[in-house]
Amino acid sequence: MAASCLGRGVVRLLGGLRGVGARGLAAPRLWGSASAPAAPAGSYQERIALAASEPAAFWGPLARDVLVWDTPYHTVSDCDFRSGRIGWFLGGQLNVSVNCLDQHVRKSPESVALIWEQDEPGTEVRITYRELLETTCRLANTLKRHGVHRGDRVAIYMSVSPLAVAAMLACARIGAIHTVVFAGFSAGSLAARINDVLQPHGPDFCQHPEQPESRFSPEPPAKCKVVITFNQGLRGGRVVELKEIVDEAVKLCPTVQHVLVAHRTDNKVHMGDLDIPLEQEMAKEEPVCAPESMGSEDTLFLLYTSGSTGTPKGLVHTQAGYLLYAALTHRFVFDYRPGDVFGCVADIGWITGHSYVVYGPLCNGATSVLFESTPVYPDAGRYWEMVQRLKINQFYGSPTAFRLLLKFEDSWVKKYDRSSLRTLGSVGEPINHEAWEWLHRVVGDSRCTLVDTWWQTETGGICISPRPSEEGAEILPCMAMRPLFGIVPVLMDEKGNVLKGGDVSGALCLSQAWPGMARTIFGDHQRFMDAYFKAYPGYYFTGDGAYRTEDGYYQITGRMDDVINISGHRLGTAEIEDAMADHPAVPETAVIGYPHDIKGEAAFAFIVLKDDAGDADVVVKELRSVVASKIAKYAVPDQVLVVKRLPKTRSGKVMRRLLRKIVTGRAQDLGDITTMEDPTVITEILSAYQEYKDKSGAAQ
């Protein structure tokens, strides 16, 4: 099938549209324009100091000038980490899709918003701001006709494509809340995100006094009514059965009323009672849709991410602060200039895709690349051939991909012209020296600015990065280095004391609110407080450790909790353990992360079998497939070791740190094991591990 398919439905639809001209545009707005100055005047140091000491004086004028508003805000910020109240630009009203589309269509409708680099090598589709606005409006009208109202949730389970971006923006246009689910997640994970249990918010739930109609309303919001998907996806030349996965998921989701199915391939899929052909419905709609005027603190989207305990949390990002932060960090960090082609190769299912494929670049009127494929399809030159063909100016990717690519000959890079590149960015996990050097020297010809950017789903945008900085300031390898404007990092020792000075390591906290940060966890504000504000009262705890140099630069040292990072994908080890726990032959498991050459980290599972479990190899195989079907393929442990017992404290807690030491070859130095119930377990596990290594050439 689809080798030559160009995402027919979408492309046909885009090609067949008449221009709407000024008729389709939202009325001119009060305040603001994206071509306004990017930051208040002053040197870098002065701006950093102002953002830290007087956040309102720093962010207020930026919000006024950069965003377009329906109603000006009256209060720049009202934030208190002790109570978990976070509000920015209160009283203001705006529409995010107007900021990302209408304002640019008014000025230059034919400038290119998206370049869709399709899976099929060498095929690209360009979509102008006018086309994207029209598609967004048709999709927004389709959603409305199918009963989606302001405040409703819409799940988007789609591969990277213009239609997926239009789906996000269509939700924003009508005030619906989108939750994009990475199209590599299983049916079970998708269903869990659609169904996320809503607790009616109790009286103590933080209701922002200035925006009573916002997400903090005591009325529980509606459950997810609509899922948007493709018939199939394409990735690395392979077909992904997206619709089949959605079919399985919605069997478990009683609130879903419609599944809107677009076509990425020409193949027919079974259409059931819930299913509606999306392009056909969109063709019936007007390419014009009046935008809802949203409060600054109304919810824009939910994005689920893993923590060290419990099910994934739906982080809530709101309208104005998030958009402003995504747009400004996009300009500051990457040195984005009008006319540039910005290439972030992240999937839209992750926060990087939200902030630096969709919202930041589009708010800035940029041309943003949508990358549907993989770094090695059809060969290891894929990224660089694309850079040459699309003349990409900024390239933003993950250390996992860089580590994979550097194993191939440099000629895969060098045969393509990369002279358009100015900035190279890395995100999602620590970048090791080899990968940093390769990116800098081979890809960037030692002339591009390389930014290792640290941030999280929770932070909404980049928080620590070598740029912005004073003109030409040094960049040290493998270091995120400098906090962005308004980010005030603090390192804590184990007792919760703030560490002063340089050459210190501690728990990385941020002491001051910034506009892009998540506001709560959907339906569970207490969990938000417990996860981020309990460990160090008055501070946001990131979950990461960091080292500060004598010069005040930051280097991230990794997670301090039971979260692991597999190929830049964040996972709680408890999630993998929970997935395996249902197996009747496996009473106990413990999962840890261990260093992996390409993936950064991989999962290692220790499992205990019942006496009558039967063939251990069969059980291990079953466990692997359970994890793939309950979470996702990337979550499947690379190593599974059967042990008789797990190391535990006297109170019954599994001592994962000991397992980590065994797997990373540090068993000689187990540290304090006085709380251990039975130290002979260690000898048992060590000999099982040795045998396993001898047999399989395992990790380490």
Contacts with ligand PRX, residue ranges (CB under 6 A): 305, 351-352, 427-430, 452-457, 480, 542-544, 556, 559, 565, 570
Instruction: Classify strands 554-559 and 569-572 as parallel, antiparallel or unpaired.
Output: unpaired
Which of 7/460 has CB closer to ligand PRX?
A: 460
Minimum CB–partner distance for residue 576 and ligand PRX (Å): 16
Q: What is the DSSP string of 486-515?
A: T--EEEE-TTSPBPPSSSEEEEEEE-S--T
Which of 350/383 has CB closer to ligand PRX?
A: 350
Minimum CB–partner distance for residue 66 and ligand PRX (Å): 22
Which of 423/542 has CB closer to ligand PRX?
A: 542
Minimum CB–partner distance for residue 454 and ligand PRX (Å): 4
Q: How far apart are CA 157 and CA 344, in angstroms?
A: 20
Minimum CB–partner distance for residue 172 and ligand PRX (Å): 21
Which of 278/481 has CB closer to ligand PRX?
A: 481
CB 341 within 8 A of CB 391: yes
Minimum CB–partner distance for residue 533 and ligand PRX (Å): 16
Which of 427/484 has CB closer to ligand PRX?
A: 427
* Cα-based angle 522, 525, 529 (whole degrees, multiple of 5): 125
Minimum CB–partner distance for residue 298 and ligand PRX (Å): 23
Tokens of 165: 């971006």
Neighbours of 521 (CB within 10 A): 26
CB 165 within 8 A of CB 348: yes
Which of 554/689 has CB closer to ligand PRX?
A: 554
Looking at the DSSP bridge assignments, the partners of residue 542 are none
Q: DSSP 3-state assignment of 371?
A: strand
Give Cα 358 distance to the centre of its chain. Answer: 12
Torsion angles phi and psi, residue 641, rounded to 5 = -120, 125
Q: DSSP 3-state assignment of 280?
A: helix
Burial label, 258 (beta-carbon count in 10 A; 0-12, 13-18, 19+)? buried
CB 547 within 8 A of CB 558: no
Which of 559/596 has CB closer to ligand PRX?
A: 559
Which of 361/428 has CB closer to ligand PRX?
A: 428
Q: How far apart are CA 87 and CA 521, in angstroms?
A: 15
Minimum CB–partner distance for residue 453 and ligand PRX (Å): 5
Cα dihedral 360, 364, 367, 371 in deg (nearest 10): 0
- Select the residue whose beta carbon is closest to ligand PRX and give its number: 457
Minimum CB–partner distance for residue 502 and ligand PRX (Å): 19
Minimum CB–partner distance for residue 543 and ligand PRX (Å): 5
Which of 371/455 has CB closer to ligand PRX?
A: 455
* Cα-based angle 400, 401, 404 (whole degrees, multiple of 5): 90
* Residues comprising the chain, all counted: 700
CA 392 vs CA 111, 332, 336, 340, 342: distances in Å: 16, 17, 11, 7, 6
> What are the residues whose beta carbons fall under 8 Å from the beta carbon of 88, sequence distance 6 or more?
59, 63, 76, 77, 79, 296, 297, 318, 320, 321, 513, 515
Minimum CB–partner distance for residue 306 and ligand PRX (Å): 8
Which of 116/356 has CB closer to ligand PRX?
A: 356
CB 94 within 8 A of CB 363: no
Minimum CB–partner distance for residue 554 and ligand PRX (Å): 10
Torsion angles phi and psi, residue 139, rounded to 5 = -70, -40
Minimum CB–partner distance for residue 80 and ligand PRX (Å): 23
Neighbours of 284 (CB within 10 A): 10
Which of 65/429 has CB closer to ligand PRX?
A: 429
Which of 60/430 has CB closer to ligand PRX?
A: 430
